[in-house]
Amino acid sequence: MSKRAKCSQCNKALVACFCHTITKQNNELNVVILQHPSEVKHARGTAKILELSLSHCQILVGEDFSDDQQFKQLFTASDKKLLLLYPGDETISPQVLSQEIAQTDQQLNDYVVIVIDGSWKKAYKIFCLNPVLAELTRIGIDVDNQSNYRIRKSSRSDSLSTLEACYTLLSQVEQKDYSSLLTSFDYMVNFQLNSMPEQVKRRY
């Protein structure tokens, strides 16, 4: 039996392709996503939307990145300042970052924000396996609204999908309209929900 045809861009089955919803955005703040391997082919993953939508977005796949040359280069590039989007007791806000940049001759594209893509458990594993991440300045986001990520469940009430977290961060830091990210996100969520049998859909 032949495999279902897939889109060469989003790697989804053609019937689930969301590429027609993508709007390319020229983000200033560089985004690097550390993606857990289990997320790569996950039908409900959101990182691919970010990679296709943002002009400065890179995905690195793995758990332990100690031997990953691209990961290492992030920490040896003297012209870039790294930030980690991850919860913690000591985080700076997007507003503080904007003030910091305004008070220096630096630009937003001098910064790289690292985002971990995976469930809370898997994201924590990546965080622990790569101790250099703990040394980075952490940036937090103001979460005003409940996540619309209705197709995946989380034990935390403040959970956002990777896309929603990046959308919120970029919107708050750059003060630009990134709503096209949510357009693609909502399309994917609604497609997945509409593809579920009614008895399964009720769980969400």
Chain segment 56-92, per-residue pLDDT in tens: 999 999 999 999 999 999 999 878 899 999 988 889 9
Average of per-residue pLDDT across 158-166:
85
pTM, to two decimals: 0.87
Q: How far is CA 28 from CA 21, 56, 113, 138, in A?
A: 21, 7, 11, 18
Q: Taking 50 as the threshold, does the pLDDT of residue 179 lie above it?
A: yes
Which residues share a beta bridge with 60? Answer: 34
Boundaries of every domain in the chain: 22-142+158-175
Q: Domain 22-142+158-175, what fold?
A: Alpha/beta knot (3.40.1280)
Distance of alpha carbon 194 from alpha carbon 188, whole angstroms? 10
- The two structure tokens encoding residue 84: 């980690």
- Which residue, among 176, 38, 184, has the nearest Cα to 116 in the 3D structure? 38
In the structure, what pLDDT confidence band is assigned to residue 202 with cuts at 50, 70 and 90?
Answer: low
Strand partners, 134: none
